[in-house]
Amino acid sequence: MKKLSVNEARQADAIGSSVKIQGWVRTRRDSKAGFSFIELNDGSSQGNIQIVAPGELANYESDVKRLTAGCSISAVGEIKESGGRGQTTEMLADSIEVHGWADPETYPLQKKRHSMEKLREWAHLRPRTNTFGAVARTRNCICNSIHQFFQEQAFLYINTPIITASDCEGAGEMFQVTTMNLDGIAKQQIEKLNYRFDFFDKPSYLTVSGQLEAETYACSLGKVYTFGPTFRAENSNTSRHLAEFWMVEPEMAFFELTDDMDLAEAFLKRIFADALSQCGEDMQFFNDRIDESHTLIERLEGIVETDFVRLPYTEAVDVLVKSKKKFDFPVQWGIDLQSEHERFLTEEHFKKPVILYDYPKTIKPFYMYCNDDDKTVRAMDVLVPGVGEIIGGSQREHRLDVLASRMKDQDLDIEEYWWYADLRRYGTVPHAGFGLGLERAVQFVTSMANIRDVIPFPRTPGNAEF
Ligand code: 4AD
Ligand code: MG
């Protein structure tokens, strides 16, 4: 017996075929005429398929009439044209087999709508809801277009380490990895740990970014990208921060800041365009049911067509100061822009994505290329309405002497980054790259308000359940 996914069985070309479909019951409705309608979903699409279960089925009374939300079944039958509204096809079942029951007294996903907060407590079952199915499919589409975009341009996909001894962003927000018996050490009240007894003979951490390692490969192979999990122990309980998130980091030799911005803009547009063209039904769902103003599709279509604004940090500060708007954090040259400032620029002032560049060197990491003014570095952040910073990138400092002095300024020991310095010693080249936070991109494409709802199992302060 040929198996079809629910999505395949919903298409007109399935009409007339006898097939098996399998999934989880959303609802069951009994007709007075002695048969039942079952709405079935298997995650392959937003829409369900309706199964008509005739009263003649041998297990009609014993099984079919006991089906409730969450039960898993196989149904065999013919796909017919449907007279029902909003559906092309339905199945007339010849047999229905129940794989697993779901006690309606305790199954959490009953017909009633649950809050996103409540659904987080059932992160193992929430993918069965319309919203989380749609998010999972859209996230998958975005990951696929990320790989396609870079593969089509001959970037090499490389895997950078998850365990590392270097703090790329220099913010000290790293999770330490150890095999030492910390309880034992605490008991002995040892003041200074001897890392000779630890697994790597030195302090090591979960990576905050694969950039430094990606730079080494870019400086041999030209264009590379890494795409993997990254970890930040920042204690920020916001709707934009996770302790574990996925980052895509392309790194390109012989690229300067403008090339980097061009690539970032083309890359984002490609991701948005693919989501619009490949996730039609789910995007419609986000537009109608998740987006507050129901303009998501129109907005994304607009962004794919429009040029992003490009503005030096210094001019952005001018715009903010001249706006006369009352911000919680007052604006002056040299501050790190807060999300209220970023939102003003993208949502109120320019009303589109903005790439800010040439930031003060004091608020950016050591590895960024220092401009001739000796005050700013060739950094660029892509800001989008609603989400704020979605991409952070820069041209890298490829001059050994400047790098060394920047590291000194930031109290970093260049000896510990000897391999990073070697790239500047042997055949150094201008190079650049950026990092896109995958979850921020998914948030932007779906309009989901909280980043915890666009990753299957969110890790945040105090939360590592599942
Ligand atoms: O701006 P960030 O810190 O840049 C880097 O890590 C560079 N090494 C990237 C590079 O040039 N190769 O982070 C990049 C992006 C941010 O713009 C944001 O989208 C995302 O990663 N991000 C987070 N996403 C979720 N939760 C967090 N705690 C995040 N921190 C950064
Ligand atoms: Mg950043």
Q: Tell me the per-residue pLDDT of 398-418, one tens digit each, with 9 for 90 and over.
A: 999 999 999 999 999 999 999
Q: Note residues around ion ligand 2 (Cβ under 5 angstroms).
A: 392
- pLDDT, residue 113, reads 85
Give the architecture (CATH level 2) of 2-100: Beta Barrel (2.40)
- pLDDT, residue 85, reads 85
Mean pLDDT of 22-33: 97
Q: Cβ contacts of residue 460 below 8 Å, gap of 6+?
A: 237, 241, 242, 243, 452
Question: Is the CB of 341 inside a 6 Å radius of any atom of ligand 1?
Answer: no
- pLDDT, residue 110, reads 82
Which sequence spans correspond to the domains of the chain? 2-100, 127-173+208-453
Question: Which is the closest atom of ligand 1 to the Cα of 234?
Answer: 28
Burial class (CB in 10 A: 0-12, 13-18, 19+), 425: exposed
Decide which of 3.30.70.920, 2.40.110.10, 3.40.190.10, 3.30.930.10 is the CATH code for 127-173+208-453: 3.30.930.10
Question: Is the CB of 211 inside a 6 Å radius of any atom of ligand 1?
Answer: yes
pLDDT at 437 over 80: yes
Angle between helices 257-278 and 130-152 (to 10 degrees): 130
Mean pLDDT of 279-298: 98
- pLDDT, residue 191, reads 63
pLDDT at 395 over 90: yes
End-to-end Cα spacing for the chain: 36
pLDDT tens digit string along 301-341? 999 999 999 999 999 999 999 999 999 999 999 999 999 99
pTM exceeds 0.75: yes
Question: Which is the closest atom of ligand 1 to the Cα of 249?
Answer: 12
**CA-CA-CA-CA dihedral for 74, 75, 80, 85, to nearest 10:** -70
| % of the chain with per-residue pLDDT over 90 | 89
pLDDT at 186 over 80: no
Average pLDDT score over the chain: 95
More confident: 9 or 113: 9
Question: Is the CB of 242 inside a 6 Å radius of any atom of ligand 1?
Answer: yes
Ligand 1 centroid–CA 247 distance in Å is 7
pLDDT at 235 over 90: no
Question: Is the CB of 390 inside a 6 Å radius of any atom of ligand 1?
Answer: yes
- pLDDT, residue 179, reads 80
Question: Which is the closest atom of ligand 1 to the Cα of 394?
Answer: 11
Question: Which is the closest atom of ligand 1 to the Cα of 382?
Answer: 17
Q: Using CA positions, which residue lies closest to atom 2 of ligand 1?
A: 392
Question: Is the CB of 384 inside a 6 Å radius of any atom of ligand 1?
Answer: no
Question: Which is the closest atom of ligand 1 to the Cα of 441?
Answer: 19
Is residue 386 within 8 Å of residue 347, measured between CB atoms? yes
pLDDT tens digit string along 198-231? 899 998 999 999 999 999 999 999 999 999 999 9
Ligand 1 centroid–CA 364 distance in Å is 12
Q: Using CA positions, which residue lies closest to atom 9 of ligand 1?
A: 435
Identify the band that residue 159 occupies on the pLDDT scale cut at 50, 70 and 90. Answer: very high
| % of the chain with per-residue pLDDT over 70 | 99
Residue type, 122: W
pLDDT at 433 over 80: yes
Ligand 2 centroid–CA 177 distance in Å is 24
Q: Using CA positions, which residue lies closest to atom 17 of ligand 1?
A: 391
Question: Is the CB of 241 inside a 6 Å radius of any atom of ligand 1?
Answer: yes
More confident: 184 or 429: 429
Question: Is the CB of 169 inside a 6 Å radius of any atom of ligand 1?
Answer: yes
Question: Is the CB of 435 inside a 6 Å radius of any atom of ligand 1?
Answer: yes
User: Residue by residue, what is the 3-state secondary structure of the chain?
Assistant: CCECCHHHHCCHHHCCCEEEEEEEEEEEEECCCCEEEEEEECCCCCCCEEEEEECCCCCCCCCHHHCCCCCEEEEEEEEEECCCCCCCEEEEEEEEEEEECCCCCCCCCCCCCCCHHHHHCCCCCHHHCHHHHHHHHHHHHHHHHHHHHHHHCCCEECCCCCEECCCCCCCCCCCEECCCCHHHHHHHCCCCCCHHHCCCCCCEEECCCCHHHHHHHHHHHCEEEEEEEEECCCCCCCCCCCCEEEEEEEEEECCCHHHHHHHHHHHHHHHHHHHHHHCHHHHHHHHHHHCCCCCHHHHHHHHHHCCCEEEEHHHHHHHHHHCCCCCCCCCCCCCCCCHHHHHHHHHHHCCCCEEEEEEEHHHCCCCECECCCCCEEEEEEEEECCCEEEEEEEEECCCHHHHHHHHHHCCCCHHHHHHHHHHHHCCCCCEEEEEEEHHHHHHHHHCCCCHHHCCCCCCECCECCC
- pLDDT, residue 359, reads 98
Hey, what are 392's tokens? 């952070």
- pLDDT, residue 190, reads 62
Question: Is the CB of 391 inside a 6 Å radius of any atom of ligand 1?
Answer: yes
Phi, psi of 55 (to 5 degrees): -60, -15
Question: Which is the closest atom of ligand 1 to the Cα of 243?
Answer: 28
Ligand 2 centroid–CA 250 distance in Å is 15
